[in-house]
Structure 1
C-alpha cells in the first residue's frame, strides 16, 4: 500500500538523493530516527505542517517536492476542478492594470454582485471554473478605465476578493505557485488602495502562501500585519480581517512549536469573535466564534493531539453554523479524522469522520494531500485486519492504491 504517492516514500527517495542517513536527517529536522524510519515504511503519517517544514528545510527541497504536487485521478469530482486552473492562470498572468485582456465588461455593480455570489457559493470550485476568470478580466477593464475615483477603488477592492478566491482554489488543488501569484497580485492592489483593511486582506493571503520553510519569517509577517491593523479597526469588516490575521499568527506560531504564543493569538481571536455575530457564512474569511473553534481543532491536530481531547474540542463546534461554508466544514471534519487516525484504537472513528468530510465537500477532500496521507496510513492498517471496505472505497475515489 505504501507507494510513491505517499510522503514517506518521497522522503526516502529525497533523503537518499541527498546522501543522508536517517540519523543525520533526524538531527537536522529535530525529529527522531525511529519516527522517520516508520514514516518511510508507511507506519507513521507525515501530516503536520511543522514536520513537513522541518524535513523540507533539512533536505533543502520545496514542500511540493516532499508532499507532491497536483494529484489527478479518473474520478470526475476529484479531477474536474483542475480543468479550471489554466483559465485562472491566464487571467492572473494576462491582465495588468494598464492592459486588460478584453475590452468589454458588464456593469461594475453586476461584477461586484457576481463576486459576492461566488464568495458565498456552497460549491466554490465549480463557481470558480464557471465565473472567476472572466470576472477577473472584466474587473481589469473597469480598473483601467474607471468612471470615477470611487469606481476605481471599488474595482480594485473587488479584484482583491477575486484574487482571494483564486488563492485558496489554487492552494486547495496543489498549485502553490499560482496561489502565491494571486496573493502577490492582491498585495499590489492593496498598495495602490493604501487603506488598512485592504492591506490586511492582502497580508492574510501572503501569509497563507508563504513556504513553510520560511516559517520564522511567516510568523513575524503575521504578527506584524495583525499589530499594524489593530489600531485601524473601526467596523465589523475590520474585526473580521484582523481576526483572520490573528488566526494566521496562531498557525504560524504552532508550526514553529511556540504553543504558548499560539494560544495567546487564539485567545485574541476569540475576543475579537465575541464582538461580531457568529455567522461564518456571511463574514469575511468565515471569521466568527465558530470558525475560531474550528481553528482550535486544526491547531490541536497540528500539535499532535488525538483521542478524547480532540473529540472534546470537536464537540464544542456547532456544525449547523458551518453548513453554508462547505469547505470550512469539510476541513474541520477532516482535521478530526486525521487526528484520530494516529491512534490505532480509533481507526473506525477516524474513517467515519473522514467519510463525513468527503460527503460535505468531495472535491476538496479528494484533493487534500493531508487526507490522502491519512487514508494511506489507515489503509496499511486495514489490510492487516478484517473490514476496511468503506476506507478502501474512499481510497479508490482519491486514487490511493488499495
Structure 2
C-alpha cells in the first residue's frame, strides 16, 4: 500500500532496469536475497550507508539515483530552505577565489562577525531558510576581500572567514540533498585553505571534502581522512587543531564502519576519544562540536551503521549528557540516528517515533529533509498494525510528505 513512499520501490525499478535478478544484485551488493527482498518490498529500511553504497555500486548508479534527491512537499518548514539554493549555487559558481563577480563589500570586520556570530549559530540550529537569506551575499563579499592584494593581513582574515562560510554552505547543501553543491563549497574552502597554507585551515577543508564524498567511495573517504589527520598531527598544539583532528578521526571511523571494518572503526573511534580528553567537553563552543560528549554521539552513529537495533541502541545512549548538546545540529542527528536504530525492531518502533519527534523539535528543517528519517518513517508506516501507532505515524508521515 505504501511501496511508492519507500526507497525499496525505486530499488526494484533500478534492478529491473539493469536486467538483474534479485540473486545477482544481492550477490554483487554483499546482501542476502532475503534481505534484498525485504528492502524492495518496504519491509525493512534502506538506512545503512554500507547497504546504499553496495547497491548503488552494483547497479552502477549514484546514491542520489537510488535514495532520491530533495523530496519537496507543500510544508513550508520543509520546502522553504530550497528556495535559497539557486542563489547559493550562483554565488559559488560565479565567483572564483581571486576573481569576484561583485565590486562592493561590507567592511571585513562586519563580514567576519556575520560568519561567526550569525551564520555559525544558524548552522548549528539547522535554520537553513535564515542561512539562505544571508549566506550568498556573505560569500560574494568575502570573495571581494580575498581578491584584494593591498593588505595581506586582511586578505588572510578574509580567507579564514571564507573557509568558515564554506563550512556553513557545505552542510546546508548536503543536508538539503544537493551533494554537488556541497562539494563545490568544500572545494572552495580547500582553495582558500591552501592559499593560506595554514595546517589547521587545510585540515578543516579536508574534513569538508570528506563529508561530501559519495557513499560509494568510502575506501577513498577513509584514506583521505586518515591522510589529512596524519598531516595535521604534527601541528596538534595550534589553536583549533585538536578539534579538527578529532573530526577527521571520527570521519575515518564512520568510513571504516561503512566498509564493514569493525576493527578499523573502533581504532579511529578510540583515537578520537583520546584526542577529546585534551579539549574541554563543551560541544556548543568547540569547532564542529568535537568533545568527549560528541565522541559518544558519534559512537551511536557508528554502531547504528554497523547494524545496532532496538534496545541495544538505547543502551548506547546511556552516559551521553544531552544538555551539553543544546539545540544543535549534532543533537538532531543523534536523536535521528537513535530513532533509525530503534525503528529496525518492531518492539521499539513506538520509541523510535518518539526519538524522531525529538529530533524534529530540535531541527525541523533538517529532519523533514532527511532521506534516512523519511525512509524509516515510510517503512514503519507500511509495517504498522496498531491503530494508535498508525495514527502517530500518519501525523509524522504527513509532515514529511509521505503518502499515508
Q: TM-score, normalised by structure 1?
A: 0.97
Paired with 1:123 and 1:370, the residues of 2 have a C-alpha distance of: 17
Task: Determine whether 1:120 maps to 2:121.
Answer: yes
User: 1:358, 1:365 within 8 Å by CA — same for their partners in 2?
Assistant: yes
User: 1:2, 1:41 within 8 Å by CA — same for their partners in 2?
Assistant: no
Q: Which residue of 1 aligns with 2:170?
A: 167
| Aligned-residue offset at 1:146 | 4.7
Task: Determine whether 1:73 maps to 2:76.
Answer: no
Q: Which residue of 2 aligns with 1:319?
A: 322
Q: Which residue of 1 aligns with 2:248?
A: 245
User: 2:293, 2:320 within 8 Å by CA — same for their partners in 1?
Assistant: yes
Alignment of 1:354-373 (within 5 A): 354-373=356-375
| Aligned-residue offset at 1:123 | 4.5
User: 1:375, 1:395 within 8 Å by CA — same for their partners in 2?
Assistant: yes
Q: Which residue of 2 aligns with 1:83?
A: 83
Task: Determine whether 1:37 maps to 2:37.
Answer: yes
For structure 1, the residue ranges without an aligned partner over 5 or more in a row are none
Q: Deviations over 1:124-147 (max 9, x none)?
A: 313311211000011011111154
User: 1:341, 1:378 within 8 Å by CA — same for their partners in 2?
Assistant: yes
Aligned residue pairs, count: 400
Q: Which residue of 2 aligns with 1:386?
A: 387
Q: Deviations over 1:18-68 (max 9, x none)?
A: 000010001111000000111111111110000000000000000000010
Task: Determine whether 1:11 maps to 2:14.
Answer: no
Alignment of 1:271-286 (within 5 A): 271-286=274-289
Paired with 1:367 and 1:45, the residues of 2 have a C-alpha distance of: 17
Q: Which residue of 1 aligns with 2:232?
A: 229
User: 1:120, 1:282 within 8 Å by CA — same for their partners in 2?
Assistant: no
Paired with 1:176 and 1:371, the residues of 2 have a C-alpha distance of: 18
Q: Which residue of 2 aligns with 1:22?
A: 22
Paired with 1:99 and 1:3, the residues of 2 have a C-alpha distance of: 49
User: 2:9, 2:40 within 8 Å by CA — same for their partners in 1?
Assistant: yes
Task: Determine whether 1:304 maps to 2:307.
Answer: yes
Give secondary structure in 2 for the equivalent of 1:157: helix
| Aligned-residue offset at 1:225 | 0.8
| Aligned-residue offset at 1:10 | 0.7
Q: TM-score, normalised by structure 2?
A: 0.97
Q: Which residue of 1 aligns with 2:398?
A: 396
Give secondary structure in 2 for the equivalent of 1:96: coil
